[in-house]
Structure 1
Amino acid sequence: MNQPSIAELSKLIGFLYDGHIEEDPYSAFLAETRRIIDSNFASITMREPKGDDGGLLFVSCEALPKIFVDDHDNPYTDRYYTSNLMTNLPWGTVVSLDECVPYRTLERTELYKYCMAPIDIYHMVGVDLRNANGLRFSVRFCRPKTADNFGPQ
């Protein structure tokens, strides 16, 4: 992982603030963060999928579309989001996937087989935050199985 400079961190904050006005919302923030932390996948969930509401998910991953809005054709947002092992994290606490479930257990789940493995997601780190209205939004970053796990940095 690259150690970001103050200039890079400032640039990321700018990308985050401007993300809502991009043609592909938050794509600059997600792509630049992926570059800095050597990640192959990044996402921001602004609205969680619930019932008939497919949610609002912005993604940075070469293998997937950039935005999922009420997408019931996507197996993750339609079926597997509720079985995600990293939902409803403690507010403001960065958590890694292996803190939630052992990798051997993960590899036996449908979530892993149908949603993660096909796009080479294995190591994951995330944080859940609250917006100004107190609603949860989530940020996740992932690496492939062949990469190093996220460390304490």
Structure 2
Amino acid sequence: MEAVPWETFLNELRTLVNAQYGSLILRSPSLEDTGLTINVGPTSTEASSAYSDHFYALDPFVGLPRNKMVTIQEFLSLEDWTKSEFYLQFLAPVDVLHIMGADLKTRDGVETRLRLCRTRDQDDFGEREKAICSLLLSHLERSIQLHHRLNRMESERNVYAGAVDQLAVGTIILDEKGLVMETNQVANNLIKALDGIKLTNGILQVGTNEDTAELKRMVSRTLSAQRRAEPTVVEALRVSRPSGRTDLGIIVRSVPSMQWSEGKACPAAVIFISDPEQEAQAPQEVVKQLFGLTPAEASLAMLLANGLTLDEASEELEISRNTARAHLRSIFSKTGVTRQTMLVRLILKSVASLG
């Protein structure tokens, strides 16, 4: 859970077995990938980069027995080891002779290497150091598996959160007390605009006092249903804006709790906010590729999707109305639609908005 995972653990282990350096290779380097390694001890960035860029290919201390601590001298004779290119070019300049390590592989297929190093002035690692590390290997493997799962879930979460942002939907997550836990970028922008929605001391306020009171009742009902583990409750509210712009649409729904959820400050409800005046964010290049349009056609299609009339779009693009109509006929032919409203719906509902 540290900013640099396992850094404290590696330092403590390095001290415990009197090693000069310690490394945890989470992803092995390759021709296409520099890998991912955590290094502790008086290592230099240059040395770490040199291994990831080049010397990994010369490393003979790989393919170790799974989940078993071994030393380099159990793997190679001292003579062969000290004559190897890897030792002469990479380790000798940084005064490393002795290495002890293990290769771990979780049930999810994640392969990790633990390596500990001593200098030429030190003795080789002995049975005591191997025994200490062996006691920890199963726990280290389990923590690596947990970290991998957490990282995967976080990556998936970021994908879905990014998709919601691209769809221009504001998302506000509430805890079991109805306090705001997290907001996405679209919601942040709406809150900063102070036009129909604001956040005060973790509490969301919308529209008029009556609107805010109704939102509180909706959230209260949603949280009650969530606590009773009832089916997902969905409530909706339309909120007017002081600026006179189009009303905001708000949906409140409960967040189903996991079977083994415990503790407080867990997501309990989510508020989705739609701003009808938010322009479509689909990249023009993606629209062009998706529907086989020319740059001019894609520009026109995006302006129409954002609510402009054909005359307004032709003026915006500084082209004649006849040219705009010709582009529109070509767009209809390529997309298979026959009306402008169908074209707008096609673009807004396509995957282009996720590009």
Matched, 1:51 2:65: no
Candidates 124, 130, 136, aligned match of 2:111: 136
Runs of 4+ in 1 over 3 A off after TM superposition: none
Q: Deviations over 1:30-89 (max 9, x none)?
A: 111111110001000000111210111110121324xx6xxxxx2211222122121111
TM-score, normalised to structure 2's length? Answer: 0.34
User: Structure 2: how far apart are the matches of 1:61 and 1:111?
Assistant: 20
Q: For 2:51 and 2:39, how far apart are their aligned partners in 1?
A: 12
Between the aligned partners of 1:145 and 1:99, the Cα distance in structure 2 is 17
- 1:36 is aligned to 16
Q: CA deviation at 1:23?
A: 2.7
- Residues 125-146 of structure 1 deviation map (CA, whole Å, 9 limit, x = unaligned): 1011113411210101111111
Does structure 1 conserve the Cα–Cα contact (< 8 Å) formed by 2:21 and 2:43? no
Asked whether the 8 Å contact 1:85–1:97 carries over to 2, the reply is: no
Q: Distance in 1 between matches of 2:108 and 2:86?
A: 30
One-letter code aligned to 1:120: D
Match of 2:71 in 1: 96
- Identity within the alignment, %: 28
Give the 5 Å matches for 1:40-79. 40-65=20-45, 74-79=49-54
Report what 1:124 is aligned to.
99
For the pair shown, which has the larger CA radius of gyration, 1 or 2?
2
Question: Do the aligned partners of residues 64 and 131 (structure 1) sit closer, same or farther apart at CA in structure 2, a change above 3 Å counting?
Answer: farther
Deviation at 1:152, TM superposition (A): 1.3
SS of 2:54's equivalent?
helix
Give the secondary structure class of the aligned counterpart of 1:139: strand
Partner of 2:122, secondary structure, is: coil
- Specify which structure has the bigger relative contact order, considering alpha-carbon pairs within 8 angstroms and separated by 6 or more residues: 1
Any conservation in 1 of the 2:34–2:53 contact (CA below 8 Å)? yes
For 1:93 and 1:33, locate their aligned partners in 2 and report how far apart those are by CA, in whole Å. Answer: 16
- The separation in 2 between residues aligned to 1:140 and 1:84, in whole angstroms, is 12
Aligned residues: 127
Q: TM-score, normalised by structure 1?
A: 0.76
RMSD value, Cα: 1.8
Structure 2 CA distance, aligned partners of 1:122 and 1:59? 17
